Each structure stands twice: as structure tokens, then as C-alpha cells.
Chains A and B, each alone.
Chain A
Amino acid sequence: MKRAVIISGILTVAIVAAVVYFCYDPSESQWFPQCVFFKFTGYKCPGCGTQRAIHSILNGDFAAAWHFNAALFVAIPIILLFVVAGWCRQKVPALHDKLNSPLVAIIILVLVVLWWVGRNIVNV
């Protein structure tokens, strides 16, 4: 019951967000949240460009999305894999266990930090 409420809540937010990001371009509107880290430090954060990238993906412009935030292309399959593993936890517990192992989390942590530092050096 509680689980159903949470899932439907998340779905509702996701659908509303998808419609908003499909219709409005964050780079042309000033009503979308701005990156606090970028404003204060001048350096890009790991998530910079995600809003513009989501807008581009929803409108089918994958090249522009890649340009705005390439990490999203790596993250989306990983997130989907986690969601599927969560659904199939009873049937395939091994997949869920492997994905939630410390090793996977550390690899993701290293990738995030590398992406964070790297994108500011190469400016992508």
C-alpha cells in the first residue's frame, strides 16, 4: 500500500516533469533552476546540462543532448538496470545483490569524480 503510493507519486512527478521538459527549453527560459555550484565557483558540476540534455532527448536531438551532458547517456542505462533489478529482486536476487555491491558503488563514485574533474579540464 505504502509502496504503491510512493511509486505512483514518483510516476506522477516524472510524467509532469517530462511534459514540462518536452515543451520548454531550459536554455531559453529563465524559470528553470540554475546550477548553484556553477554560479558560485564557475566550474561545472557532474549534473550541469542535464535539464537541457533531457529537453533535447525528449525532442529527439541526441547529438545536442550528448553535447550538454554526456554522462546522462551512461547513467540512463544504469538507472534502468537498477529499476529492473529492483522489480526482479525476488526472481533474480543475484542481479540485485551484484548491482548493490560496494564495488559497483565505488566504480560509480570514481566515474562521477573523473567526469566532474575531467569535464572542467576539457570543458565539455
Chain B
Amino acid sequence: MQYWINQNGTQAGPVTREELEKMAITANAYVWRSGLDDWVEITELPEVADLVGNNQPIVEEPEPVAEPETEEPIVTDELQQGEETIPPIPEGEEPAAAEPQRAYTRPMQQLEGQPMPECPPTNLVWAIIATLLCCTPLGVVAIVYAAMVKSKYNQGDYAGAKRCSETSAWWCIASIVLDLALSPLVMALMMMGS
């Protein structure tokens, strides 16, 4: 089974579970493997969720003295984990066998289409509609974030693209909500004035 991992904007893959076990993985990492529609947070994928927090102190510790001591337990740890998780892997063997050729020929930064999932929605249309229908300048901010979605995606930063996509959607919603909330206020002020 091949995995792609995106952590703090840096993407790596394809990697096997064994390679993932050697990486320092935090809970905010996204992972993808064939069979998934979209990237998921690593904590949502049970087969690799246990890797969160792995190797954290070991990677950050530069002291060479600690290495020989800590290395042994890691190796046994890996073996144990590997043995435990072997059963679910055979299910995905077919797609995994078909994929490597395609996947390995791609440079990591240009993962377009496959194996990278579809670009998250830019929400550009909604930003345009919000700008022209609402009277607060918030729609303009939504357009800015809409522009950033695709450029982040093209850089291979899927997590960043997804964040911008959500941000642009929230600015559209904020624009509409603020408008609906402020309009009655303005109407009331006008009536008081006249």
C-alpha cells in the first residue's frame, strides 16, 4: 500500500507504511492512498492513525549519545507494528500493484490530477456573486483567497489549497450574513433620520 503524506505544506510520497513509521508525524498531517476520494487527516485513517506522535523526540534530539540506546526499541517497535498491521494491507494490493509505475515517474511537486486528488473548489463564482450582491467589501477578500487555492494546488500544497478554499467560502458566507444583519440596522437608522 502506497501513501502520500502532506505535513505543514510539505508533501511526500509515495511511501510505504514502514517508511511512514520512520517519519515524525504530527496530528495535523494529511494522508492519501488510492481508494480514498480525498485527503484525510491522519487521525481519521485508522490504519495509520497510530503513527501520530511517533519518533517525535528521537528526530528532534541531536545528541549522538542517545542514539544507540533508543535505536533498539524503535526497531522492535516497527516490527511489532508491521506485523500487527499486515492483515489489512492485502485488500489494497491490487490497486497498489497498478499504481507505482505511474506514481514513481511523477516529481513530487507536480502531482496534478493523480495521484493528487482533485483541486478543492476555488469558490470564485460565489466570490463574484457575493461581491456584486453584497455591499460589504468582504467579497473581494473571497476573490483573493479563491486565487490562492489553485496556485497552492499547483505548487503541490494540497492542504494549503484546501485551507484557502474553505477560507474563501467563509468570506462569501460572512459577506452575505453581515449584509443581512446590517441592512435592517441601516433601514432603522434611515427611518430615525427621516
Number of residue pairs across A and B with beta carbons under 8 Å? 94
Query: Which of A45, A47, A69 counts the most chain B CB atoms within 10 A?
Result: A47
The answer to whether B186 touches A36 (Cβ under 8 A) is yes
Q: A114 on the interface (CB 8 Å rule)?
A: no
A residues near B189, Cβ cutoff 8 Å: 39
Chain A: how many interface residues by the 8 Å CB criterion? 34
Given known A-B contacts A34-B190, A109-B144, A78 and B128 have beta carbons under 8 A apart: yes
* Interface stretch (choices B8-16, B74-82, B83-91, B117-125): B117-125
The answer to whether B187 touches A99 (Cβ under 8 A) is no
The answer to whether A72 touches B182 (Cβ under 8 A) is no
The answer to whether B146 touches A38 (Cβ under 8 A) is no
Given known A-B contacts A79-B129, A112-B131, A45 and B150 have beta carbons under 8 A apart: no
The answer to whether B124 touches A105 (Cβ under 8 A) is yes
* Interface residue SS majority, chain A: helix
Q: A100 on the interface (CB 8 Å rule)?
A: yes
Q: For the complex, what is the distance from the CA of A56 to the CA of B184, rounded to whole Å?
A: 24
Q: Which A residue sits closest to B187, measured CB to CB?
A: A34
Within 8 A of A (CB), among B159-194: 178-180, 182-183, 185-187, 189-190
Within 8 A of A (CB), among B122-146: 122, 124-125, 128-129, 131-137, 139-140, 143-144, 146
* Interface residue SS majority, chain B: helix
Given known A-B contacts A36-B183, A45-B135, A48-B135, A100 and B122 have beta carbons under 8 A apart: yes
Q: B23 on the interface (CB 8 Å rule)?
A: no
Q: For the complex, what is the distance from the CA of A100 to the CA of B146, rounded to whole Å?
A: 8
Q: B1 on the interface (CB 8 Å rule)?
A: no
Within 8 A of A (CB), among B40-56: none
The answer to whether A112 touches B140 (Cβ under 8 A) is yes
The answer to whether B140 touches A34 (Cβ under 8 A) is no
28 A-B pairs whose Cβ atoms sit less than 8 Å apart in the complex:
A30-B187, A33-B135, A33-B179, A33-B187, A34-B135, A34-B187, A35-B135, A35-B186, A36-B136, A36-B179, A36-B182, A36-B186, A37-B135, A38-B135, A39-B186, A46-B131, A47-B131, A47-B134, A47-B135, A50-B132, A79-B125, A100-B119, A100-B122, A100-B124, A102-B147, A105-B143, A109-B140, A109-B147
Given pairs A33-B180, A69-B132, A106-B147, 15 additional interface contacts (CB within 8 A): A33-B135, A36-B135, A37-B136, A47-B133, A75-B132, A78-B128, A79-B128, A82-B128, A100-B124, A100-B149, A102-B151, A105-B144, A105-B146, A108-B143, A113-B140
